[in-house]
Amino acid sequence: MTEILQILVSGCVQGVIYALIAFGYNLTFSTSKTINFSLGNVLMLGGVVGFSLYVDRATGQLLGYPYLVPIIGVLVAGVIAGWVVHKFAVEPSLKLKSEYTWVLATLAMGIIIKNAVEQIWSTGDYRFPSPLGDDPIRIFGAGIYPQEILAVVVATAMVFGIEAFKRYTIYGKAIQAVSEDKETASLMGIPQQQVVKVSFMLSATIATVGGLLVAPWTFVSATMGTSLGTKAYVVAIIGGLESGFGLVVGGLILGISEFVTARYISSGYKELPGFIILILVILIKPSGLFGKKTIKKV
């Protein structure tokens, strides 16, 4: 019982993080039909910036700043990273006739971010002490880190917050209008370019915050975002790129399947079910498990 609970806890935490990053993909996709493939590395940037403002790399000791400093740091880093990716990778690509240049451009941006961090910062793995302590809390015997609870709470709040922002504020409605029909939105006086730009900044900020949240248990390194970024994309495809609810379900499916497989089948096949589901979804329902529902709803 404890064991199943532990698997569910670990799987759900992982799943919610996947969902959060997948939400970052969803945001830019809904406004501009583009995906920021550098999001995994933007997440890493968040982890690294947060770490640099909180921990002394050489000694592993805290610098003594309050946790608010790294929080502000990653928010700023996210906004800047989003702006840069949009300005230099996406905007020029969208102006070109070739439709999918942004795929390579954002991938390249991710590689540049990773290499820059390796050159300027370090290639090592570092421990990020959680502000809430590194001892697990026991709930019915299953261990969960306080940081994981924080991550789940913040991630869920961000997902719901952004959904609410999109539905109930004038700016959010502008985003929805652009995602529905760019030309009409422009005619109605919505600055389409601005909306796309803001969606990139918001999406990158989600990723950098995600990086700060996961850092205490993934370690901080230049490669920390690579696999998270890929898996979140898998989640986005499984759940449906345009459905907020689908992303959460997709995240949980992937997260829990990984832990169940590692425990009951073989740790070597941990990632297999997720990718099998991905292929099945692409074959059977390419818009994702919850893809169509939201299209009708909007």
Partner 1 sequence: MRLSVVLSFLLAVSLIGCTKKSEDTIKVGVFGPFTGGSAPMGVSMRNGVQIAIDEINASGGVLGKKIQMVDRDDEAKNERGGQIMQEFLDKENVVAVLGPINTGVADASTQYPNQKKVPMIINVSAGAKVNELFKTNPENYVFRIAANDDIQSKVIVGEAMKRGYKKPALLCDDTNYGQNGREKMEGVLKSLNVKPVYIGKFKLKDTDMSAQLQEAKAAGADVLLVYGIGPELAAISNSMSRIGWNPEMIGSWTLAMSNYITNAGKNGNGTKMPQTFIEQAASTPKQKKFVEDYKAKFKESPIASAVSAAQGYDSMYLLKNAIQQANSTEGKKIKEALENFNAPYEGVTGTYAKPFSTTDHEAVKETNVMLGEVKDGIVIQATTPTKK
DSSP code of 98?
Answer: S
Regarding 143 and contact with partner 1 (CB under 8 A), the answer is yes
For residue 143, what are the β-bridge partners? 138
List binders of partner 1 among 117-136 (CB under 8 A).
118-119, 123-127, 134-136
Closest CA to 251 of 287, 289, 279, 215: 289
Decide: residue 61, CB within 10 A, 0-12 exposed, 13-18 middle, 19+ buried. exposed
Contact range with partner 1 by CB under 8 A, out of 69-77, 91-99, 137-145, 242-250: 137-145
Regarding 57 and contact with partner 1 (CB under 8 A), the answer is no
Regarding 93 and contact with partner 1 (CB under 8 A), the answer is no
Contact range with partner 1 by CB under 8 A, out of 75-83, 157-165, 168-176, 260-268: 260-268
Contact range with partner 1 by CB under 8 A, out of 4-12, 69-77, 155-163, 194-202: 4-12
Count of residues engaged in binding partner 1, rule: CB under 8 A: 40
Contact range with partner 1 by CB under 8 A, out of 81-89, 142-150, 181-189, 205-213: 142-150
**Residue 270 CB, nearest distance to partner 1 (Å)?**
8
Q: What is the DSSP string of 165-200?
A: HHHHSHHHHHHHHHHH-HHHHHHTT--HHHHHHHHH
Which residue number, 5 or 75, has a Cβ lying nearer to partner 1?
Answer: 5
Residue 250 in contact with residue 235, Cβ under 8 Å? yes
CA distances from residue 46 to 27, 40, 69, 75 in whole angstroms, order as listed: 18, 10, 13, 8
**Residue 129 CB, nearest distance to partner 1 (Å)?**
8
Task: Quote the CA–CA distance of 178 and 187 in Å, as a whole number.
Answer: 11
Q: How wide is the angle at C-alpha 247 spanned by C-alphas 167 and 157, nearest 5°?
A: 55
Closest CA to 232 of 7, 38, 86: 38
Determine the longest span between alpha carbons in the chain, in angstroms. Answer: 59
List binders of partner 1 among 149-208 (CB under 8 A).
none
**Residue 101 CB, nearest distance to partner 1 (Å)?**
20
**Residue 218 CB, nearest distance to partner 1 (Å)?**
5
Regarding 262 and contact with partner 1 (CB under 8 A), the answer is yes
List the one residue from 133, 227, 280, 298 that touches partner 1 (CB under 8 A). Answer: 227
Regarding 259 and contact with partner 1 (CB under 8 A), the answer is yes
Regarding 51 and contact with partner 1 (CB under 8 A), the answer is no
Regarding 87 and contact with partner 1 (CB under 8 A), the answer is no
Cβ neighbors of 30 (< 8 A, separation 6 or more) are 175, 176, 179, 199, 241, 242
Question: Which residues bind to partner 1, rule: CB under 8 A?
Answer: 3, 6-7, 10, 14, 60, 118-119, 123-127, 134-136, 138, 141-145, 217-219, 221, 223-224, 226-227, 258-260, 262-264, 266-268, 270
